[in-house]
Amino acid sequence: MNRVWLALGAYVALGVLSWRTIDEPRIRLATLAVLGMFAVKTLLHRRNAGVSTEGVGAGDVGAEREK
């Protein structure tokens, strides 16, 4: 959980820095959109990783897919 919060904090910090340093509104919004997509991807990956390994041992992940 700590790595997820660290990644989200980094996205927020990058968003604030880009907002303050980029003057062109179009490029600023595009940059924030890309950072937002990375944040959503991070959250979705965390959610999917938690669901896929629930109740399965670390060595059994590949065996689960074969069933």
Specify if 66 maps to a domain: no
Task: Give residue 53's pLDDT.
Answer: 47
Q: pLDDT tens, 23-65? A: 999 999 999 999 999 999 999 998 888 765 455 555 555 555 5
Q: Report if residue 24 sits inside a domain.
A: yes
DSSP for 19-60?
Answer: HHH---HHHHHHHHHHHHHHHHHHHHHHHHHHHHTTT--GGG
Q: How many domains does the chain have?
A: 1
Note down the domain range covering 33: 7-47
Q: What is the pTM of this model?
A: 0.67
Whether residue 52 lies inside any domain: the answer is no
